[in-house]
A and B are shown apart, each in its own frame.
Chain A
Amino acid sequence: MRCEEAQELITARVDNELSADERASIDAHLKTCADCALAFEQESALKRRLQASSREVTAPLALRRDIESKLAGGESTHAARFGAWFEAFSWRPAFALAALLIVAASLLYVKWPAPNVGLAALATHQKILGGKTSLIRSNDPIEVRRELARAVGERFQPVALDFSIMKLYPVAGFIETIGGREVLVTVYQGDGPAITCFTFLGSETDAPAEAEKFYDADMGLNFYSFSRDGLNGVLHREGGVICLLVSKMAPADLLALLRGKSAHA
């Protein structure tokens, strides 16, 4: 077999798309041709890299929610396009049921107090650590910030934090609704305890009642620190935006990080 003839067979060998005869033929050639054997190894490595790279790409959360909402018969921001969705399905009973559920949920919402965002954030961080939360992993932290800000209509954006000195890097972001409020969540992982940053519109009353309050006279800012079940949170307000960090990291270290961030803001 000539090397020119072997090239496509090498490709198909990498993809396991050869018949037994073809496979035997190319394998025999690879044993005697160092150049083609190297080409096979290179193409195999490239395929693995392409596959790994591809797994990093997932549907943006806003797109997923939009489509899943439409698939479930919810509201559409693309009414004209999705007219076709509803022509396809006759879901009036489903709409009626959905309306009842919305009314029931509204009643429950009025009756029950909204959960404390600080404590809910601890629970979210625990789920992330336990791998129970699906994350949008991204190669581009700037794009994650932009995506999250866009998802809340640019009303606010995730606080920019640089933990690279601790070898922690933003690896994922998502939006969580807590007590009816949209919370932007950015996950920092790397060497050492992971940190999750929560950004949302709120006030200092979003700190749990049990939180300790620190007043930084130099900065003129209040900081709140709280802990539960081995997780620690620190929170402070900049204007109408709350920044909350949650980690297993010691409260004093977290507080130092947040104060450092505010000092450079």
Chain B
Amino acid sequence: MDTTCTLYYNGPAVSRSDVRQHVQGQERERFSSEIASYLDHLYRVAFHLARNDDEAQDCVQETCARALSAYGQFIPGSNLKAWLTRILYNFFFDSYARNKRVVAADDLVDSANQDKDFWETVSADQAGPEKQFLQRELGAKIGAALNKIPEEFRTPIVLVDMGDFSYAEAAEILCCPIGTVRSRLSRGRKLIHKQLSGYLGKSGTER
């Protein structure tokens, strides 16, 4: 597995000079438009990485600014979503992640609600305001559980489960081997599951 920090690219080989000649007026406008189409995705990833709105908004603003500044470095036809996410992750890591308090992975069980059988109450297909309310509350619980796990385990979950990236794409963004993504995903999901055990019922699965 190549672990060098190259920008994610799965298209045909294109030289940098070819790229510069290619990127002209309309292409730039399209580039801006494509960036705008990923704002929800970028904010989603930033929000789950930063765990607060202000830092998430700052990350997205900076990502867009840097993407435009580095426009000439983007290879047309390659994976813009992954490229933008890589910029965002690098900015987040340099600006915020280094200063975050690390939470101990062994002390993550939320015992306050052990008696609830939340997931068995709420299934994804249920409608109605009460069920919608419960689903929203479950979403908040999941978000809280995600926020408590260490960044090294949270990030692969944010990229793969919430960002819809493949293991290979997540590995490129994180600049690590695919096997590391897989092992951290496995560990991270177990940590979240452990925290939500009070909401999962006996089986821990949906009905």
Contacts and interface: CB of A to CB of B under 8 A. Distances in A.
Interface of A: 7-8, 10-12, 15, 17, 38, 41-54, 56-60, 63-64, 66-68, 70-72, 78, 81-82, 84-85, 87-89, 139-140, 143, 167-169, 171, 189-191
A48 B28 CA distance: 36
Interface of chain B, main secondary structure:
helix
A192 to B, nearest CB: 9
Contacts of A54: 44, 48, 161-162
Interface string B54-73: 00010011101110110100
Contact of B65 (A57, A85, A171): A85
Interface in B161-207: 161-162, 164, 166-167, 182-183, 185-186, 189, 192-193, 196, 200, 203-206
B35 A50 contact: no
A60 B71 contact: no
A63 B132 contact: no
Contacts of A81: 61-62, 65
A60 B182 contact: no
Given A17-B167, A84-B65, A85-B68, A63 B200 contact: no
Contacts of B61: 63, 66-67, 78, 81
Contacts of B130: 167, 191
Interface in B103-161: 119, 124, 128-130, 132-133, 135-140, 142-143, 146, 157, 160-161
Contacts of A189: 129, 132
Given A48-B124, A190-B132, A63 B65 contact: no
Contacts of A71: 32-33, 35-36, 64, 68
Interface of chain A, main secondary structure:
helix
Given A68-B36, A167-B130, 6 more contacts: A38-B205, A42-B203, A44-B205, A46-B196, A51-B161, A60-B57
Chain B interface residue count: which class? 35 or more
Interface in B23-54: 28, 32-33, 35-36, 39-40, 42-44, 47-48, 53
A45 B69 contact: no
A29 B205 CA distance: 20
Nearest to A51: B161
A8 B57 contact: no
A10 B190 CA distance: 12
A7 B161 CA distance: 17
Contacts of B139: 52-53, 56, 139
B48 A42 contact: no
B162 to A, nearest CB: 4
5 contacts: A44-B205, A51-B164, A53-B138, A60-B53, A88-B68
A77 B162 CA distance: 30
Listed from nearest, the 5 A-B pairs whose CB atoms lie closest are: A190-B129, A54-B162, A59-B43, A11-B186, A53-B139
Given A38-B203, A41-B205, A169-B132, A49 B64 contact: no
A57 B47 contact: yes
Contacts of B62: 81
